A and B are shown apart, each in its own frame.
Chain A
Amino acid sequence: MATFSTNEFKGGLKVMLDGDPCSIIENEFVKPGKGQAFNRVKLRNLKTGRVIERTFKSGETLEGADVVDTEMQYLYNDGEQWHFMVPESFEQYAADSDVVGDAKKWLKEQDVCIVTLYNNAPISVTPPNFVELTIVETDPGVRGDTSGGGGKPATLDTGAVVRVPLFVQTGEVIKVDTRTGEYVSRVK
């Protein structure tokens, strides 16, 4: 794998840091008028999702990481692993529960999501920003209350629980923003 110098650190570049693949978010050149030049770099650890900041002397290098984001279709969960397929090649990948992480509560079979592969093995799964899911259980709303106000919990067909307005009923399909976990609208 290629190595990259601090001057090549751009947002989105994937590099190895302390043995983990990381994605560069931001790279700031810091240099006193009379003094050593540094680069203050913000990176996301792609395994843990954590954002870290690290300073390098300008000109230092890091090894590139073999990381690719691939669009895949979620197929099924066999109780232990989640299975995905690349639609073009029909290539299949299996991911463990900790790799799928929070994405599991938004994934419905057939949905397309982003699977991040590191050395050709899944390390994280990103659901679509918006998903449409069916409410399987929620308390009947109070009649007449059509505005926002309190809301109530609703369980969706993937098992996720979101707060919905009181007028939304069991059996309806709703749109949810997976980044915030919030209800967006009803889907007709």
Chain B
Amino acid sequence: MLATIRQFFSARNVLEVETPLLCRAGVTDPNLNPFTTVLRQPGSSEGEQLYLQTSPEFAMKRLLAAGSGSIYQICKAFRNEESGRHHNPEFTLLEWYRVGFDLAELIDEIDALLAEICRDHLILAASERFSYRELFREHVGVDPLSASFEELSERSRVRDLPEAEALCGRDRSLWLDLLFSHLVQPHLGRGRITFVYDFPAFLPSLARKKPDDPLVVERVEIFLEGLELGNGFHELADAVEQEERFDRDLVIREENGLPLPAKDERLLAALRSGLPDCSGIALGLDRLLMIRMRAESIGDVLAFPTAQA
């Protein structure tokens, strides 16, 4: 699988890069919990807190801002408090950025790469593309952006999730995470790859707002056999908006009593100096291998899952 990926990008003149796993700045995303460690200079008793990367996104964007052109990387990423049938705290990502690509062009390339990787292993029908709203309306029965909390509660009771109301309260992004992951996701990617695009603007992450529709962002998620394989964006290049999103994340972290990492000033400086217009995507390679080998658990495709590492 790795050889296929390297051939694919080599043929397309995308440069393979390597960035540090050990980082000075953490992520602000309230739903990610990084591993931390302590750096000591020789002979020093004072330490400085470092993080194991949750993804190579920030470092790769710094390279892009420095003029690297299109790049890809196959690396390890680490996420604490994530462990289960589809999660291992240490996992392998393929992340790539295409300078000058919009999201639709990137989706075409992802599609081509996945077809290449799955060939000879899986028989897949042609991929399908749906907007988040379309899918949500189809499987949940209400509009994710305009439905009232009462309507969301009503849908959750009908669909056998009576606990949802107490769980999500008046937090719309939590409601959408719950209903999408429970009622929509299991149907996606059955026998073909499903691309989900145009995410609600309050689930923006690092995506750009869509110029002609302020309610959604240019973000895509990829599903195969009910599993989420990756997340891509038309990358946000605006340093001011990026900093605002960091600040918003930090407020949520503070409200929830989570650690408050420093904002990645080096990323912000890189964005200020100018990130070329680009789209990027991270794919979980362990999960892809799971599907290719029809494995039941991510542990089945790892030499040593963290519990046995």
Contacts and interface: CB of A to CB of B under 8 A. Distances in A.
Interface in A20-50: 28-38, 40
A28 B87 CA distance: 10
Interface size of B as a range: 20 to 34
B231 A29 contact: no
Nearest to B161: A55
Interface of A: 7, 28-38, 40, 53-58
Interface stretch (B6-14, B42-50, B96-104, B178-186): B178-186
Contact of B177 (A7, A32, A53, A54): A32
Interface stretch (B76-84, B110-118, B133-141, B265-273): B76-84
Given A29-B84, A55-B163, A36 B178 contact: yes
Nearest to B30: A36
Contact of A33 (B163, B164, B230): B230
Contacts of B167: 55-57
Given A33-B231, A40-B182, A55-B178, A28 B163 contact: no
A55 B163 CA distance: 7
A37 B82 contact: yes
A31 B178 contact: no
A53 B85 CA distance: 17
A171 to B, nearest CB: 50
B242 interface: no
Contact of B181 (A32, A53, A58): A32
Contacts of B203: 34-35
B190 interface: no
Interface in B156-200: 160-161, 163-164, 167, 173-174, 177-178, 180-182
B29 A55 contact: no
Nearest to B182: A55
A27 to B, nearest CB: 8
Contacts of B164: 55
B82 A38 contact: no
A96 B167 CA distance: 37
Contact of A29 (B85, B160, B284): B85
B36 interface: no
- Which 4 pairs show the lowest CB-CB distances between chains A and B? A29-B84, A35-B177, A36-B177, A34-B205
